[in-house]
Structure 1
């Protein structure tokens, strides 16, 4: 039983060190911001999306129009 208690104490101590390290990182480190640019070709912006025929999901919506 004493080895189990010693193991639990060591694990709690290590968890406390990790938790303390995270608190120090949060309080001491400031993230830097920078501008990010992503170039998108014009042909991709103006191109019509291609529709797949028959390869999509089936239409499972109920027919609410009351059609016969």
Structure 2
């Protein structure tokens, strides 16, 4: 929640921070569904994510809609 409140005001954030937010959101969403559902998140090429920047919450709408 801190990411959406404090970091989303910035023009850019590190891609690593955005990916951490997505992983946390996935963990929360997985709790809503039965364990029999296979919900996975695979992130490849994360080694250089700390050096890249992205607009905050740019991917959030896509991830949120995937669960809907």
What's the TM-score once normalised by structure 2's chain length?
A: 0.30
Q: Which structure has greater strand proportion?
A: 2
> Quick check: which has more Rg, 1 or 2?
1
User: Per chain length, whose mean CA-contact separation is higher, i.e. which structure has more relative contact order (CA < 8 Å, sep 6+)?
Assistant: 2
| Greater helix content | 2
